[in-house]
Amino acid sequence: MEGLGRLEYRGYDSAGVALVDDDRVATAKRAGKLTNLREALAENPPADSATAIGHTRWATHGGPTNANAHPHRGGTEGKLALVHNGIIENFHSLRQSLLADGVEFTSETDTEVVAHLVASAYADSGDLTRAMQDVVGTLEGAFTLLAVHADAPNTVVAARRNSPLVVGLGDGENFMGSDVAAFIGHTRKALELGQDQIVTITPDSCDVINFDGTPSEGKAYDVTWDAAAAEKDGYDTFMEKEIHDQPHAVRDTLLGRTDENGQLVLDEMSITEQDLRGISKIVIVACGTAAYAGMVAKYAIERWTRIPVEVELAHEFRYRDPVIDENTLVVSISQSGETADTLMAVRHAKELGARTLSICNTHGSTIPRESDAVLYTHAGPEIAVASTKAFVAQITASYILGLYLAQLRGGSFGRNAAEVLEELHGIPAKMSDLLGNLARVKEIAYFMADTRSVLFLGRHVGFPIAMEGALKLKELAYIHAEGFAAGELKHGPIALIEPGQPVFIVVPSPSAENGLHGKVVSNIQEIRARGARTLVIAEEGDDDVVPFADEVIRIPATSQLLAPLLTVVPLQYFSLQLSSAKGLDVDQPRNLAKSVTVE
Ligand code: AGP
């Protein structure tokens, strides 16, 4: 249950456990939050057991009901229990053939089909590992499966394809989970697994085979996140903790990026420098907040490398016929490294011959494992569903990539990489100052608790930040919010402005190029003249905005391309506070899961 509690953020509309007790398997499962399951177990305590599996669910096939909650039993005697993450794409045909064999189902899920298949295979072979191996070969789609059987005591067998699974190696005990948070309270020795692998654990053994039965072994590593790192550090919510963790996330992502000669290096690079010099286009693929990090990165990478950069929503890129070749570098950005849309986009890119690089926050996850090169962010475990510290770490990592490519390819900018890195190293301190001055943002949020619509405007790198600010408000406060490019106002959106309409405006530094600052100040005037309530995010000392601002939220002065790392912070904090003011669940907003591992 402790492990399930730490995994709840991955999806939480039902939960359940199964325990092997002598010659039977006891199960308990409940729809709703984990507390419902805890109550059920308190009412009917199961017998003690040292062999158990558990699951928190984010519904895909079948609604969030007790019957559809995992574990699902298989076999006529119900001696097998199984839990599953992912989607079995051919489950309809498998279910039909089981129904034809007289199997009776108690749920609508694809998971129960697998439970019956494994139970049937076990009846044939009497070996749970062999049974799992016989079944996974018939499954199409993405899955992590864990199974126990009353006749196979002290044993848990798991299988994974395109879905997360990691092993925890303890002393006289072993664990498996979707990520290390499930067992870091018990062991920090972990085993990273590859694609299409089956793991069999007992208290004293851990055996890994490939789906074809050939022996294999995972890649051992030590988990640096201790239990405390995933706790709240005294904040009310994980999100608030993680917003305040952002200086560390930037700082840690910058750590160890240069060699003894001050040259930038990447984590795992199996693309040759020659190939990187030949890159003629970069395409960034990501979803949600990660996509907005990519939009920010575009401005910096194009400026520093003169390589054209396209930013594509992964689920759009995946289903169109993009112009990609071996001189294209496809950069995926993903906190979890398991987002199915992004994973499929990376695979699509590889099929088209592109080089692939993953910017990811989760070591050992699927997307970096399937990419040619990896640049890990070091934001630590991000528990809140709404991404904050991972976002600023993604931007930081994108800057590192841009500077690395500029350095590699020479050109006018290559020489200045050190200057930008120097300024980047100064961002955490500026963030800390800013985080200490957000009291007014909280007051504004509580004052606006009943607002029904908020608009966000930004220009240049402020535009993706406006989009991210709107997304935060949607996913946390469940109200209509929309981000616009400030220059787009007069092309339609200004019709939305009416007296009292709250509008956040992200203002470029007065030192920004191309007169962008003055243009945005004009935008503020235009909407203020029509009655908008202007909430302006502006650099310290920028007095031009004061006559047209109902509120001015100050950020420390920084250069134009690095400003997003700071301008996003008040918007994150505003959404957190508005959600709290409305009494909503900040860390686990409705309908959302932390990692969307299905397409
Ligand atoms: C951000 O607050 C959301 N939780 C969501 O948009 C998220 O960024 C997106 O699903 C991508 O997730 P990933 O970074 O794990 O791939």
Q: What is the pLDDT of residue 573?
A: 98
CATH code, residues 234-425:
3.40.50.10490
Q: Provide the token pair at 467.
A: 């989009």
* Residue 382 CB less than 6 A away from ligand 1: no
Same fold? 2-229, 234-425: no
Residue 335 alpha carbon to ligand 1 centre in Å: 7
Break the chain into its structural domains and give their ranges: 2-229, 234-425, 436-581
pLDDT per position as a tens digit, 306-345: 999 999 999 999 998 899 999 999 999 999 999 999 999 9
Q: What is the pLDDT of residue 15?
A: 93
Q: Which atom of ligand 1 is nearest to the CA of 387?
A: 2
Mean of per-residue pLDDT scores for the chain: 92
Is the full-model pTM beyond 0.75?
Answer: no
Distance CA 369, CA 212 (A): 20
| 3-class DSSP string for 310-350 | EEEEHHHHCCCCCCCCCCEEEEEEECCCCCHHHHHHHHHHH
Least confident of 68-77, 117-126, 185-194, 250-259: 250-259
Q: Which atom of ligand 1 is nearest to the CA of 288?
A: 6
Nearest-CA residue for ligand 1 atom 4 is 386
pLDDT per position as a tens digit, 229-249: 656 666 889 999 999 999 989
Tokens 């690095």 belong to 562
Task: Please state which of the four CATH numbers 1.10.3720.10, 3.90.25.10, 3.40.718.10, 3.40.50.10490 is assigned to the domain occupying 436-581.
Answer: 3.40.50.10490
Q: Which atom of ligand 1 is nearest to the CA of 386?
A: 2
* Residue 339 CB less than 6 A away from ligand 1: yes
User: How far is C-alpha 496 from the chain's CA centre?
Assistant: 33
The domain made up of 2-229 has a fold known as Glutamine Phosphoribosylpyrophosphate, subunit 1, domain 1 (3.60.20)
> What average pLDDT does the segment 132-159 reach?
94
User: How far is C-alpha 485 from the chain's CA centre?
Assistant: 26
Nearest-CA residue for ligand 1 atom 6 is 288
| 3-class DSSP string for 119-174 | HHHHHHHCCHHHHHHHHHCCCCEEEEEEEEECCCCCCEEEEEECCCCEEEECCCCE
Q: What is the pLDDT of residue 14?
A: 87
pLDDT per position as a tens digit, 469-498: 999 999 999 999 999 999 999 999 999 999
- Above 90 in pLDDT, residue 293? yes
Q: What is the pLDDT of residue 230?
A: 55
Residue 334 alpha carbon to ligand 1 centre in Å: 7
* Residue 14 CB less than 6 A away from ligand 1: no
Q: What is the pLDDT of residue 152?
A: 94
Please return the burial class of 320, using the count of CB atoms within 10 Å of its CB with bins 0-12, 13-18 and 19+: exposed
Structural contact between residues 149 and 80, judged by C-beta atoms closer than 8 angstroms: yes
